[in-house]
């Protein structure tokens, strides 16, 4: 009898316990399998989803967003080990993504500038020769001397193989102008295969020492000294931390073998604090493009959440608008001093030799072998036209739609370009450089032309989603600095450029977040604060939607979170 009573009592206890556990489970949010790792509440969470939803709180677990919603609902997901952050009304936005910032890559050890303390003045031929002699005297025989020079007539025309051989008979010596034009001595020229296009010859067929296109790519990519990768790792980490302080969580850009190796090593050591997306430029100035494509295979979208190859890149049509090398259909009003490019700028594809062997053909070949092509510098309207024409030729062979092909900078995009951009699903990446440090642009093209540059609103109204880039260093790389320019369209002299091209605050934020994620084909996992996406976010020091627009560049980044891990936090902010 006692045994039966005990068993009956035990059954009642078990049933009661099961019912109690079921009741507790019903009271918990459905997402709670485990508690959240990090909870932000009492703020203005700008999710930047397709509806631009704004909520009070967000929870993160296992590197992804768990849920976003009301304070009560999200705080119920916090457990004993959860970090709780009271936002006190501040804004939270998705982590900023810059689609063209290869200036953030470190390619030489800190403290080395390649000059050994020798300053070279390229303003005159005599000054250049004097500096080059001193540079050669500062190194050992046999040491490679790879220098950078300005894009002026001294470097691109007057320096020749005879002069450079006299200066450096025992050292490979070349000077690369800022627009991929090279002056080299005989020891360099001997290493350039004769069949590679871009070797400049005189009327007698002799090599002048000037190299263009694929020929210039030989010293740049094959002869340049390769530093010890270990010497770059700490500097690259420091650079990424500085970008974390700006709220950046993803950086994209073209990169070659050295940078790719640095990123790979940091990734394997779990020491990346930025997601890196690379357009591998193994095709840039490559005289054997198809052979490389066959041997390498298609690596587009190969990688992981931290480091990924998103395509390839090539040498593009023109150079920098600020120095007069943008390829334009309209002549300049004035020339800047030392401009060697003429009234319509430069066309690298034409000067490198036959178009059929230029980097134009490399775009078609890359698409044929399955690669996406992006990180394509394009300053002038003619450059945009030529790039879209070759995209169109490639598109007829193999559709570009849905494959995140990109064309960058967008300074002189015009309505005649919009339909091709839409038809082929090309993503335009825009910087805001026409809106600051623009004196040369005004001088060359006039205020009326500058007024219409960087047509953000027109692109959006045409049904195109432009994305944002800085392509700059220092404070100019900060997303909030560039966002302020898109929103106000005032330059650094206070001049109002076309107000009809102003972006709204929401549009400018989309350009740096959800729309930017499409540039790498990752809009399903990045770019907005939505359950299941990778948990990248930025806590701002105020309300993004009401902070004075002319001061947005002063809105502080208090915290940057990458995959649920805090990679930047202002001391004492929370």
Q: Could you give the CA distance from residue 179 to residue 156 in angstroms, rounded to a whole number?
A: 10
Q: Provide the terminal-to-terminal Cα distance of the chain, rounded to the nearest Å.
A: 64
Q: Are 150 and 140 in contact (CB under 8 A)?
A: no
The residues, ordered by sequence, that sit 6+ positions from 18 with a Cβ below 8 Å of its Cβ are none
Computed from CA positions of residues 527, 529, 530, 535, in that sequence, does the dihedral angle turn out positive or negative? positive
The 8-class DSSP code of residue 502 comes to P
* C-alpha closest to that of 563 among 267, 288, 302, 353: 267
Domains in the chain (CATH in brackets) are 2-94 (2.30.40.10), 97-104+229-521 (3.20.20.140), 125-223 (3.10.310.70)
pLDDT at 12: 47
Orientation of helix 230-244 relative to helix 257-268, angle to 10° = 80
Q: Which residues contact 140 (CB under 8 A, 6 or more apart)?
A: none
Rounded-to-integer distance, Cα 450 and Cα 498, Å: 9
- How many other C-beta atoms can be found within 10 angstroms of the C-beta atom of residue 214? 28
What value does the CA radius of gyration of the chain take, rounded to a whole number of Å? Answer: 28
Q: Is the dihedral of CA 7, 12, 13, 19 positive or negative?
A: positive
The 3-state DSSP composition of the chain as helix, strand, coil percent (nearest 5) reads 35, 20, 45
Residues of the chain short of pLDDT 50, as ranges, are 6, 8, 10, 12-25
Residue 307, SS3 per DSSP? strand
Alpha helices in 48-159 (DSSP H): 71-75, 125-137, 153
- Selection from 107, 105, 93 nearest residue 479 by Cα: 93
Tokens of 472: 């700059």
Given this model, what pLDDT does residue 5 score?
54
pLDDT at res. 106: 95
Q: Which H helix or E strand runs over 504?
A: none
C-alpha separations of 104 from 39, 251, 316, 477 in Å: 31, 8, 20, 9
Report how far residue 237's alpha carbon sits from residue 567's, in angstroms, rounded to the nearest whole number: 11
Per-residue pLDDT, 560? 98
pTM: 0.92
Q: Where are the alpha helices (DSSP H) in 229-304?
A: 230-244, 257-268, 289-296
């399955």: which residue's tokens? Answer: 370
| Structure token digits, residue 306 | 């931290």
pLDDT digits over 466-503, tens only? 999 999 999 999 999 999 999 999 999 999 999 999 99
| Cα gap 137→131, rounded to integer Å | 10
CB 451 within 8 A of CB 445: no
For residue range 401-451, what is the model confidence (pLDDT) as tens digits? 999 999 999 999 999 999 999 999 999 999 999 999 999 999 999 999 999
Instruction: Give me the pLDDT at residue 119, please.
Output: 83
- Give the CB-side neighbour count of residue 224, counting CA atoms within 13 A: 21
The pLDDT, as a whole number, for residue 3 is: 54
Q: Which among 507, 428, 512 has a CA at the least distance from the CA of 478? A: 512
State the number of CA atoms in the 13 A half-sphere of 206 facing the CB: 6
Please tell me what DSSP assigns to residue 373: B
To the nearest whole number, what is the mean pLDDT of the chain? 93
What angle is formed at CA 221 by the lines to CA 327 and CA 178, rounded to 5 degrees?
35
Per-residue burial over 1-32, b if 16 or more Cβ lie within 10 Å, else e, is: eeeeeeeeeeeeeeeeeeeeeeeeeeeeeebb
pLDDT for 10 equals 47
- 543: tokens are 């309300």
Q: Is the dihedral of CA 22, 24, 27, 29 positive or negative?
A: negative
Residue 203: alpha-carbon gap to chain centroid: 42
What integer pLDDT is reported at residue 15 of this predicted model? 45
Give the bridge partners for 378, in sequence order: 409
DSSP 280: E
303-329 residue pLDDT tens: 999 999 999 999 999 998 988 999 999
């Amino acid at each position: 009898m006692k045994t039966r009573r005990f068993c009956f009592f035990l059954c009642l206890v078990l049933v009661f316990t099961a019912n109690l556990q079921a009741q507790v489970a019903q009271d918990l949010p459905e997402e709670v399998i485990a508690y959240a790792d990090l909870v932000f509440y009492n703020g203005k969470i700008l999710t930047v989803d397709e509806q631009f939803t704004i909520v009070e709180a967000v929870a993160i677990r296992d590197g992804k967003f768990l849920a976003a919603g009301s304070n009560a609902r999200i705080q119920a997901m916090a457990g004993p080990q959860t970090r709780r952050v009271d936002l006190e009304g501040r804004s939270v936005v998705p982590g900023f993504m810059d689609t063209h910032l290869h200036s953030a890559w470190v390619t030489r050890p800190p403290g080395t500038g390649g000059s050994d303390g020798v300053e070279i003045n390229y303003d005159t031929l005599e000054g250049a020769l004097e500096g080059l002699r001193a540079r050669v005297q500062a190194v050992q025989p046999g040491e490679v001397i790879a220098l950078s020079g300005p894009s002026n007539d001294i470097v691109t025309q007057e320096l020749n193989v005879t002069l450079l051989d006299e200066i450096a008979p025992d050292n490979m010596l070349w000077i690369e102008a800022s627009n991929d034009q090279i002056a080299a001595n005989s020891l360099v020229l001997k290493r350039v295969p004769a069949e590679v296009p871009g070797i400049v010859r005189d009327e007698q067929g002799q090599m002048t020492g000037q190299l263009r296109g694929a020929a210039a790519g030989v010293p740049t990519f094959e002869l340049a000294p390769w530093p010890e990768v270990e010497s770059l790792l700490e500097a690259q980490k420091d650079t990424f931390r500085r970008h974390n302080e700006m709220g950046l969580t993803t950086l994209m850009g073209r990169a070659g073998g050295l940078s790719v190796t640095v990123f790979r090593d940091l990734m394997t050591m779990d020491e990346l604090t930025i997601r890196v997306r690379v357009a591998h430029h193994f095709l840039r100035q490559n005289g054997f493009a198809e052979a490389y494509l066959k041997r390498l295979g298609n690596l587009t979208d190969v990688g992981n959440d931290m480091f990924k190859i998103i395509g390839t890149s090539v040498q593009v049509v023109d150079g920098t608008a600020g120095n007069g090398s943008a390829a334009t259909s309209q002549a300049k009003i004035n020339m800047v001093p030392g401009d060697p490019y003429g009234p319509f700028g430069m066309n690298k594809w034409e000067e490198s030799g036959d178009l059929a062997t230029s980097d134009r053909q490399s775009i078609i070949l890359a698409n044929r072998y399955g690669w996406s092509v992006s990180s394509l510098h394009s300053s002038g309207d003619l450059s945009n036209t030529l790039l879209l024409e070759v995209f169109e030729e490639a598109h007829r062979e193999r559709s570009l739609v849905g494959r995140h092909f990109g064309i960058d900078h967008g300074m002189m995009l015009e309505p005649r370009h919009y339909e091709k951009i839409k038809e082929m699903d090309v993503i335009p990446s825009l910087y805001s450089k026409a809106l600051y440090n623009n004196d040369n642009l005004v001088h060359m093209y006039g205020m009326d032309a500058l007024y219409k540059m960087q047509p953000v609103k027109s692109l959006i109204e045409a049904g195109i989603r432009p994305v944002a880039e800085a392509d700059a260093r220092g404070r100019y790389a900060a997303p909030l600095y560039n966002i302020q320019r898109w929103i106000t369209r005032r330059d650094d002299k206070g001049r109002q450029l076309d107000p009809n091209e102003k972006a709204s605050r929401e549009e400018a934020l989309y350009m740096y977040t959800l729309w930017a994620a499409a540039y790498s084909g990752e809009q399903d996992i990045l770019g907005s604060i939505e359950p299941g996406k990778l948990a990248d976010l930025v806590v701002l020091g105020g309300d993004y939607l009401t902070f004075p627009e002319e001061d947005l560049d002063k809105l502080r980044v208090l915290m940057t979170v990458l995959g649920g891990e805090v990679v930047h936090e202002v001391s004492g902010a929370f």
